[in-house]
Structure 1
């Protein structure tokens, strides 16, 4: 099913949760709503589900206006952060619940229910837990059962609100991969809310970046990471170093250090900021006359394949974070306190709008 929202606006008192949001969610794809707390992503999800109603705007399901439809009419599967399983029911009965409460005219037979629940338990790889109760399961297992229960009623769309937020990092990573494999098998149009950048980049087909109730950027994971449309997107998706200064005719002057800004060749004396990710620097020992940013090595964290370097600028004392391979770090044989030269291989400049 295709989903679209048109010019959605929602306020809670004086707080604007959604400010004229329009989006398309492609049929059969997994879309992540990503952004900080309070950006409007959960409100948007709940309006699509029919759990909230917008002050104005439309929700379109397969091109039909569903804005005033009740949640039951929308055929939506919803998975919350906190499982919401019935503790007094077995795992089997939890999954069967949505089928058993259907109106008699459309309710499956008992044998059909048993067959469907068994198939779903196999799908989420927990068929051996059918007779257990939710308190006997781990957090990751309970979340997979919650997903199976949402799928039991054959939803036209699956909505997940921070589905792995209550789990520890290792379990989250395992479930992310599992969700991606499951989605590739089922191809149910799915939208999930997260504030975890890594989660969105790893799992989603499409990412919607939200901030203060508006959409900052929409695109494939590689697109939004490599070509951020706004300073917010650049800063939110991973670590980044900022170089503040003035932009004039293709040059960013950041405190006397000049960086090339070829995308701004026509800009005249404007305030701007350069963005460089830690892995986008070339690093060498300092030698007199070397071009680049002169820094002092203050701290090194080298575990595994990468070495993180904390560096202090000579000119203004600002800290810069850089990342190089452990092999490169070992070959340079760097010592804390040494003078180094940084040169960004890639720098994106945003000019402040006047």
Structure 2
């Protein structure tokens, strides 16, 4: 099913949750709505589901206006953060629930229901706990049962609201890999809400970055991470160092340092910020004549494959975060308190849009 929202606006009192949002969700793809709390992503999901009514705009399902269609008729499956399983029902009965409450003329036979539930429990790899009750399950198992229950009614679209938000980090990682494999098998058009950047980049086919009721950027995980459209996107997707200064003819002057910004060769004396991710910084020991940002190593954390370095700039005292392989860190033999030189290997400069260029 293709889903499209057109010019959606939604207000709650004086708060504007969504402000003229238009967006297409491709058929059979897994789309992540990503952004900070309060950005409008859950409100948009609820409007698509029919649980909220927009103040303006419309929702199209396969090209047809569904704005007036009741939630029961939209053929939507839900998975929420807190499972919403019936504690007094077994796993089997939870999954069968949606089939059993269908109108009599649409309801499968008891044998068909049993076969369907068994297939779904096998799909989520939990057929061996069909007779248990939700309180007897782990959080990860409960969420997989919630997903099986949502799939039981054969939804045309699957909506997931922070589906792994209540789980610990290790279980989250396992479940999102599992969700990706499951989606590749089923190809149900799916939309999931998350504020976890790693989760969205790892699982989704398409990522929609939202901020303050607006869409900042739409693209594949690679596009939004490596080609961010705005300072917000750059800053939201992982750690980033900011180098404040002024750009003039392709050079960003930040403190006492001149940094190359060739993409802004036509800009003259304009405020700008350079964005550099920690792993895009080259670090070496200071020597006279070396070009770059002179900084003191204040702290190093080298556990696992990456060494995280915290450095203090000599010219303005600002902190810089750098990352390198633990192997290289060990070879260099760096010590806290040493003077180093840092050079951006890759930097994206955003010029002040309000300035004259």
Q: TM-score, structure 2 length as denominator?
A: 0.99
Deviation at residue 289 of structure 1 after TM alignment: 1.2
Deviation at residue 256 of structure 1 after TM alignment: 2.2
Deviation at residue 353 of structure 1 after TM alignment: 1.3
SS in structure 1 at match of 2:341:
strand
Which residue pairs with 2:314 in the alignment? Answer: 314
Query: 5+ unaligned residues in a row in structure 2: which ranges?
Result: none
SS in structure 2 at match of 1:116:
helix
Residue-by-residue CA offset, 1:227-274 (whole Å, 9 max, x unaligned): 000000000000000000011111110112111111111111111000
Q: 1:1-354 residue pairs with structure 2 within 5 A? A: 1-354=1-354
Deviation at residue 352 of structure 1 after TM alignment: 1.0
Task: State the distance in 1 between where 2:136 and 2:231 align.
Answer: 46
Query: 5+ unaligned residues in a row in structure 1: which ranges?
Result: none
Task: State the distance in 2 between where 1:32 and 1:322 align.
Answer: 29
SS in structure 1 at match of 2:111:
helix
SS in structure 1 at match of 2:266:
coil
Deviation at residue 330 of structure 1 after TM alignment: 1.0
SS in structure 2 at match of 1:287:
coil
Query: Where in structure 1 do 4 or more consecutive aligned residues deviate above 3 Å?
Result: none
Q: TM-score, structure 1 length as denominator?
A: 0.99
Which segment is superposed worse, 264-273 or 37-46? 264-273
Task: State the distance in 2 between where 1:192 and 1:74 align.
Answer: 17
Deviation at residue 93 of structure 1 after TM alignment: 0.5
Deviation at residue 327 of structure 1 after TM alignment: 1.3
Deviation at residue 350 of structure 1 after TM alignment: 0.1
Task: State the distance in 2 between where 1:306 and 1:107 align.
Answer: 55
SS in structure 2 at match of 1:39:
coil
Deviation at residue 105 of structure 1 after TM alignment: 0.7
SS in structure 1 at match of 2:141:
helix
SS in structure 1 at match of 2:340:
strand
Residue-by-residue CA offset, 1:11-53 (whole Å, 9 max, x unaligned): 0000000000000100000000000000000000000000001
SS in structure 1 at match of 2:116:
helix
Which segment is superposed worse, 329-338 or 149-158? 329-338
SS in structure 1 at match of 2:143:
helix
Deviation at residue 108 of structure 1 after TM alignment: 0.4
Superposition CA RMSD, Å: 0.5
